[in-house]
Structure 1
């Protein structure tokens, strides 16, 4: 892989995209191109075609996506399905038409059936019904996998598809309307500690389990697979173990020294009860995540507290 090859990374301002951009630059790649949403709307087919015709990237890493936590997925199923479908279709087709040598697609562990056997192996895809709370997003990512498979079958278009587990880490949103579960919990407990709140109410029962991958490890996996993996069959990316949401909440509460009551609102959905992936194929490639969850939680707490301090310093004095 030539370090001066032109590489287009979509979604470079997001949590995973910004980290991946930095990881590739640190690895010595010198010809990376990006475009903000105002510069290129990926849902606009003609704009995407014009961009690819003009820029002619040799490699594409498609990270841009409409993402969010369980509430955002429930509230906006059409948006999550449509935006992701149209973005990836435009980028994949323009990549094929303009001779891209290798395409990297990022999916999600939510592609697997709601009642999938655990841990979830790649071959379990499409063996059962999806989890209703994120069905729109899941269908879009399954469509992306299948679109690339058919482009390989019919045109010989080279691509790899990576399915990471739940991501967390730097640049994640702390907006409760859009945040993922770990950053949401950090915000809830840090805020409750600061406000001396008597209780914190959380969705569901806490029995659901999730597998968490630090965004730095995911970006490292993208670089590693970009350089060393070439199979058109998609591959799971994650640590291969999970944690209960109740245990995660208790861990975060303890770390921020919150001593109030934690109330579980069982009128709200748990989401998929478990989605821990089998990462045997990933291990066979030689890639191993480095950041354990305990270290990662500390980093997220520290980052949110830094953001709070920055807000306090910029607040007007009345």
Structure 2
């Protein structure tokens, strides 16, 4: 169909279709968190029956071995990566290097090992905090690199996205 953009060309169905989600094995890192629990709820509403929500005590995604174990245990068709080390403004300012490292390692290792394992789809979510403090509103993607991030806690988000 000329001019039509399909999200998932191989199956020719839109992601909100119950047919699409019914047989997908979806892993949602951070799926028990603030944003993640909402995403999991919406996936279930759309018919997703196989949702894997790894917990930090079982899979410390900073560690490569834990990432490999997660991929082995979940066998995902799709990963939605929402997990992050956060702690509020005070903690983020006090532990910038630690949070930067842990979030960088989680995102980088999970993306790389998912690629190596042949996971077909990977979605990573950023934050509005990555935009410069004085970016025009409404935000546009091309404004992301027009200055230093507005909050000190956002440095890792601009890097890892």
Query: TM-score w.r.t. structure 1 length?
Result: 0.42
- SS of equivalent residue, structure 1 residue 123: helix
1:115 offset after TM fit, Å? Answer: 2.6
- 8 Å CA contact 1:56, 1:98 repeated in 2: no
1:2 offset after TM fit, Å? Answer: 4.1
- Counterpart pick for 1:116 among 135, 138, 144: 135
- Counterpart pick for 1:26 among 27, 34, 45: 45
- 1:80 has 2:81 as partner: no
Change (3 A) 1:113 1:32: same
- 1:142 has 2:158 as partner: yes
1:110 offset after TM fit, Å? Answer: 1.0
Query: In 2, distance between residues paired with 1:67 and 1:42?
Result: 14
What is the aligned partner in structure 2 of residue 67 from structure 1? 86
CA RMSD, 1 decimal = 1.7
1:275-294 aligned at under 5 Å gives the runs: none
- SS of equivalent residue, structure 1 residue 60: strand
What is the aligned partner in structure 2 of residue 92 from structure 1? 111
Q: Deviation per CA, 1:59-112, whole angstroms, max 9, x where unpaired? A: 001111122432222222122211111111111111111112211111101111
Q: Paired residues, what number?
A: 142
1:54 offset after TM fit, Å? Answer: 4.2
User: Normalized per residue, which structure has more strand?
Assistant: 1
What is the aligned partner in structure 2 of residue 52 from structure 1? 71
- 8 Å CA contact 2:54, 2:70 repeated in 1: no
Instruction: Report which of the two structures shows the higher radius of gyration computed on alpha carbons.
Output: 1
- 8 Å CA contact 1:7, 1:58 repeated in 2: yes
Query: In 2, distance between residues paired with 1:144 and 1:3?
Result: 31
What is the aligned partner in structure 1 of residue 123 from structure 2? 104
- 1:10 has 2:54 as partner: no
Change (3 A) 1:120 1:19: closer
Query: TM-score w.r.t. structure 2 length?
Result: 0.79
Query: In 2, distance between residues paired with 1:89 and 1:75?
Result: 23
1:220-299 aligned at under 5 Å gives the runs: none
- SS of equivalent residue, structure 1 residue 103: strand
Q: Which runs of 5+ in 2 are unaligned?
A: 1-19
Q: Which runs of 5+ in 1 are unaligned?
A: 146-318
Deviates more, 1:76-85 or 1:65-74: 65-74
Consecutive aligned runs of 4 or more in structure 1 exceeding 3 Å deviation: none
